[in-house]
Amino acid sequence: MRIKWTLLLRISISSLFSTFKREALGLVLHIGQVDIKCPITECNKHLDESTIVYSLPPDEIMKYKYFLELSRMDSSTKPCPQCKHFTTFKRKSQILTPAKSDNKFKIQCPSCQFIWCFKCHSPWHEGINCREYKKGDKLLRHWANEIEHGQRNAQKCPKCKVHIQRTEGCDHMTCSQCNTNFCYRCGEQYRQLRFFGDHTSNLSVFGCKYRYLPERPHVRRLVRGSVCAGKLFIAPLLLVLGLALGAIAVVIGIFGLPIYCLCKKQRKRTRPTGIHW
């Protein structure tokens, strides 16, 4: 009976997941929420792990399992800020440091060798305590967001989170730490897909938000989404048309070439010969 109920639940989840997917993925990926309620309004229970894994696409399952493992950890275990490798804090630090001050919280990840502070879960801040570091980091973010001479003071790399200041040049930036290409104006990573445009395209879903209707984000998303949907609809038609033309060309080549050669030979045979004296 339990197996039948589980199968029925999975079928219901599969049918509802098209509308439920955005909400579920938003909870799982953005805030790490793993206790997801059943999308069926009459049901007040939470979905079990197997049902969620069954419903998620393959590339999102690992993220869900990571958040699930994180939720089961106690306060003595935290993930590395860089590679997400779990480290359990013990009395003795991962790096041999004096027991005095906050140096006991200095951790070196055994997986990626990144050095970080277990107490505040931030990159290691030598010489200052966690409170001072957080305050300085807040001041840095505030300074970076300020506009001077018509542009931001600095922009954060979308991948490694390092602040980069532009002194001259265009909006296309390349991070010196991780070689990520991103836009200085909006801070988004450069992406492109043939037929769908890139970050410099006004009507592309990958386009910079400041290039097209920056003051009307809802209209911008509607227009770009409509253009993208139109291209998604047209692309299969163009593919089918191309395949049809290719098939016609192959058929013409198979049947037309022998006929052409035969006609050419026949023409040579019927060509009048010259009179020799």
117 by DSSP, 3-state: which?
strand
The tokens describing 182, both together, are: 């991103």
Tell me the pLDDT tens digit for each residue of 2-26: 444 454 445 454 555 554 554 555 5
Residue 163 has what pLDDT?
A: 75
Which of 71-80, 214-223, 249-258 comes out lowest in average pLDDT? 71-80
Q: What residues are paired with 79 via a beta bridge?
A: 86
- Contact between 126 and 132 under an 8 Å Cβ cutoff? The reply is no
- CA dist., res. 163 & res. 141, Å (int): 9
The catalytic residues are 170
- Domain limits, the chain: 1-72, 77-145
Structure-model confidence comparison of residues 106 and 101, the more confident one: 106
Residue 155 has what pLDDT?
A: 83
Residue 4 has what pLDDT?
A: 47
Residue 2 has what pLDDT?
A: 46
Considering the chain, what percentage of its residues have pLDDT values greater than 90? 0
Distances (CA, A) of 108 to 75, 82, 133, 196, 229: 18, 11, 18, 43, 47
What type of residue sits at position 64? Y
Q: With a threshold of 0.75, does the pTM exceed it?
A: no
H helix and E strand count, the chain: 6, 11
Distances (CA, A) of 210 to 5, 10, 186, 200, 217: 50, 43, 7, 10, 10
The per-residue pLDDT of the chain, averaged, comes to 74
Which of 15-19, 122-126, 132-136, 209-213 comes out lowest in average pLDDT? 15-19
Residue 130 has what pLDDT?
A: 83
Distances (CA, A) of 7 to 49, 165, 181, 202: 14, 55, 45, 46
Which span out of 12-16, 93-97, 179-183 was modeled with the highest average pLDDT?
179-183
Residue 1 has what pLDDT?
A: 47
Q: Is the pLDDT of residue 271 over 70?
A: no
Q: Is the pLDDT of residue 223 over 80?
A: yes
